[in-house]
Structure 1
Amino acid sequence: MKNRQPLFHDDFHIPIPMDIDNISHYSPFLVPQDHLGGPAMFWAMTIFMFFVFFFGTIINSLTIICTIQYKKLRTHLNYILVNMAVANLIMATVGSSTTFISFYYRYFIFGPLICKIEGFVANIAGMVSLWSLAVVAIERWLVVCKPMANFTFKETHAIIGCVFTWFFASCSALPPMLGWSRYIPEGLQCSCAPDWYTVNNKYNNETFVVFLFGFCFAVPFTTILFCYSQLLFTIKSAAKAQADSASTQKAEREVTKMVVMMVAAFLVCFLPYAIFALWIMSNRGQQFDLRLATIPACFSKSATVYNPVIYVFMNKQFRACMMKLIFCGKSPFGDEDEASSSSQVTQVSSVGPEK
């Protein structure tokens, strides 16, 4: 077949010694990448990424609309959650949509320019979401643990936190557009990301991977781990001091469950990607299956679904407003969820964050 002739694109050549079918000679922009995986693999990834695109778009859109619709949701903490929802929505509509379409056609059909744009947008949106998690953790630590007795978290601080996330996300997304690393197809060649697996000293890929791992994974993860460990310690101390209070014990259990879920989701979404990128950097020239690079990449994109479920749907007040929005002003749960939310505000505010 004419379109199966070996094609070479210097910008996207993978100079790793892989002899099977000369896979680096088949352009990911011109021909299906069937040499990298069977039909079942591409169909599975198509379905998974469509799920991420569909539900990520709906959940994050509802989060933004609810905050606009209901004034009581416009709290300082929710500013940061909405900031994360905006980033997740961008990731879902731009990153996940192009990815699931490309998986369907089995190659990146949109061309090199869109690959760079998609890689940039997915990178900056993902980093905003990631840093937003760290800002939320800092906000909870400041409000609940009160390390600075006279400090009050205000609207200005929330806005600064949102600006902070976009600034630092830009610091990680812009360099590949300016020559430090580059955006190329990754894994099964159906999505684009910074170049972390090719051997090319021209772009200094190795130093960029170290920068990404340290600045964009290790720092926010350490921040999240420190803040939530302090939060758990404070909540448990309050629960121990009020051992006879059922409401305090309930608040302690709920906060513990939420913290465990948040840290676990963070690790599931981003740890495989970080570990695989570091392994590739530490084993330059070693053969590896490009299919192994696809799963961590798609897991990181799935954070657009996990994060809203944890941060928004576990907030009873937010959930009640969302149900009212979906059911045209009347929640199917009646006033029970609203009352439960109000009760929880009283319970948790004495030992933990407001809902």
Structure 2
Amino acid sequence: MSSNSSSATFYNDTPTAQPTIFPRSGYSILSFLMFLNAIFSIINNMLVIAVTIKYPQLRNPMNVFILNMSFSDLMMTLFGTTIVVSTNYHGYFYLGETFCVLQGFAVNYFGIVSLWSLTILAYERYNVVCQPIGALKLSTVRGYRGIAFIWTFCLIWAIAPLFGWSSYALEGVQTSCSIGWQVRSWSNYSYTITLFLTCFIIPVGIIGMSYSKILISLYKLNRKIEEQGGKTSREEEIRVSVMVLFMVIAFLVCWLPYAIFAMIVVIDPTLYMSPLAATLPTYFAKTSPVYNPIIYIFLNKEFRSCAVKFLTCGHMSLSTLEEDTASVEIVVIPKENQVAPSQ
């Protein structure tokens, strides 16, 4: 049995025209979850953008890719997540076919831009850490050239369905639009396979290679310092390892379901997928704007310090908070364990 892609029909905004392929309570739950997703995504990414613009020390060539990611994530939320909040509330895509195509294009475009921003960021970090002249190569001009490449390269893939190579259409429970990967056609198959290679396999390979080499380089550096009798920062090695682990897991949680379901359609065109199963992959992808800022920005001490100053209008800094915490820790030390300083 084929997928439910044939039911991708646009309905007039009348109660009698609404589809019933999914329980009304299910639409309400999806609307609420996407509402929470949109709120956190907008707050997180707007904070990243505002803080980066306000504090010049954050606008270095490396952070320009993070700023680019936050902007694309914000756009994906505004053009994607907020729309599905409304359409799920209504229980169907009431905005019409033209708006469906525009939404599908925007989500695809900004999603790929965010994905490739993470990929180039990983590669540039590898250059700086593992290559002797990597830090010298990473200039502001190089950073902006990388941004220009990302937006141009991703635009090619986003506009291709507008010219007949695949298409943008309703998906799953019929409340959101994306690439018509459920459509059984050779045009869609070839586009899906090519997009899978260029926007999943290659990025995963670059990210995995880059961060693996960074961890190996950090490990070798610590071993060399220990052999020379120096003291290494084991905490820093653990912090970087945990951060990389979260990066890879978040990336796979976001994009792996989408890639798997798209390829399943290509491998077995006769396989039937329920509307909910066909919807979940793109909804997982829409969660990336929430945790990307947390993983790539808020784990950065310099940014956290600037964010605290920004949120408190300069009345408090991260160093002040740490000093206050340290003073509290000193106060609670039992008296019998204290040693008076020498005079």
Q: Taking structure 2 as the reference length, what is the TM-score of the superposition?
A: 0.87
Aligned partners of 2:322 and 2:156: how far apart in 1? 41
Aligned partners of 1:117 and 1:309: how far apart in 2? 29
Q: 1:102 aligns with which of 87, 97, 102?
A: 87
> What secondary structure is seen at the aligned counterpart in 2 of 1:251?
helix
Q: Deviations over 1:225-257 (max 9, x none)?
A: 011110110011112223476653222111111
* Runs of 4+ residues deviating >6 angstroms: none
> What secondary structure is seen at the aligned counterpart in 1 of 2:297?
helix
- The answer as to 2:64 corresponding to 1:82 is no
Gaps of at least 5 residues in structure 2 are 324-343
Contact 2:31–2:85, Cα closer than 8 Å, also in 1: yes
Aligned partners of 1:332 and 1:40: how far apart in 2? 45
Counterpart residue identity of residue 316, structure 1: K
Gaps of at least 5 residues in structure 1 are 1-14, 339-355
Could you tell me how far 1:329 is from its partner in structure 2? Answer: 1.9
- The answer as to 2:219 corresponding to 1:233 is no
* 2:48 aligned residue: 63
Q: 1:162 aligns with which of 147, 162, 171?
A: 147
C-alpha spacing 1:292/1:105, structure 2 compared with 1 (3 Å):
same
* 2:309 aligned residue: 324
Task: For 1:282-297, list aligned pairs within 5 A.
Answer: 282-297=267-282
Counterpart residue identity of residue 268, structure 2: N
* 1:214 aligned residue: 197
Could you tell me how far 1:321 is from its partner in structure 2? Answer: 1.2
Q: Deviations over 1:195-231 (max 9, x none)?
A: 1111235xx1110100110011111111100111101
Tell me which of the two structures has the higher relative contact order, counting C-alpha pairs closer than 8 angstroms and 6 or more residues apart. Answer: 2
Q: Deviations over 1:152-188 (max 9, x none)?
A: 3111111111112111211210101111111001111
* 1:309 aligned residue: 294
Could you tell me how far 1:149 is from its partner in structure 2? Answer: 6.6
Aligned partners of 1:38 and 1:114: how far apart in 2? 24
Q: Bigger shift: 287-296 or 257-266? A: 287-296
Q: Deviations over 1:281-305 (max 9, x none)?
A: 1111222212101111111011011
Aligned partners of 1:93 and 1:263: how far apart in 2? 25
Aligned partners of 2:88 and 2:218: how far apart in 1? 46
Contact 2:45–2:70, Cα closer than 8 Å, also in 1: yes
Structure number, greater radius of gyration:
2
C-alpha spacing 1:198/1:147, structure 2 compared with 1 (3 Å):
farther
Q: Deviations over 1:50-92 (max 9, x none)?
A: 1221111111111111111111111111111001111011001
Aligned partners of 1:195 and 1:26: how far apart in 2? 10
- The answer as to 2:23 corresponding to 1:38 is yes
Contact 2:80–2:106, Cα closer than 8 Å, also in 1: yes
Contact 2:119–2:206, Cα closer than 8 Å, also in 1: yes
Could you tell me how far 1:330 is from its partner in structure 2? Answer: 2.4
Identity %, equivalent residues: 33
* 2:123 aligned residue: 138
C-alpha spacing 1:236/1:62, structure 2 compared with 1 (3 Å):
same
Contact 1:172–1:216, Cα closer than 8 Å, also in 2: no
* 1:196 aligned residue: 181
Q: 2:58 aligns with which of 68, 73, 93?
A: 73
Contact 1:317–1:337, Cα closer than 8 Å, also in 2: no
C-alpha spacing 1:116/1:245, structure 2 compared with 1 (3 Å):
farther
* 1:27 aligned residue: 9
C-alpha spacing 1:281/1:68, structure 2 compared with 1 (3 Å):
same
C-alpha spacing 1:29/1:318, structure 2 compared with 1 (3 Å):
farther
C-alpha spacing 1:179/1:190, structure 2 compared with 1 (3 Å):
same
* 2:100 aligned residue: 115
Aligned partners of 1:234 and 1:225: how far apart in 2? 14
Counterpart residue identity of residue 20, structure 2: D
> What secondary structure is seen at the aligned counterpart in 2 of 1:285?
coil
Aligned partners of 1:296 and 1:82: how far apart in 2? 26
User: Between Structure 1 and Structure 2, how many residues are aligned?
Assistant: 319
* 1:343 aligned residue: none
Counterpart residue identity of residue 137, structure 2: T
Aligned partners of 2:176 and 2:212: how far apart in 1? 35
Could you tell me how far 1:44 is from its partner in structure 2? Answer: 2.1
Aligned partners of 1:337 and 1:32: how far apart in 2? 56
Q: Deviations over 1:294-319 (max 9, x none)?
A: 11111101101111110011011111
Contact 2:222–2:232, Cα closer than 8 Å, also in 1: no
Contact 1:242–1:248, Cα closer than 8 Å, also in 2: no
> What secondary structure is seen at the aligned counterpart in 2 of 1:192?
strand
> What secondary structure is seen at the aligned counterpart in 2 of 1:64?
helix
> What secondary structure is seen at the aligned counterpart in 2 of 1:34?
coil
Counterpart residue identity of residue 89, structure 1: L
RMSD: 2.3
Aligned partners of 1:225 and 1:149: how far apart in 2? 18
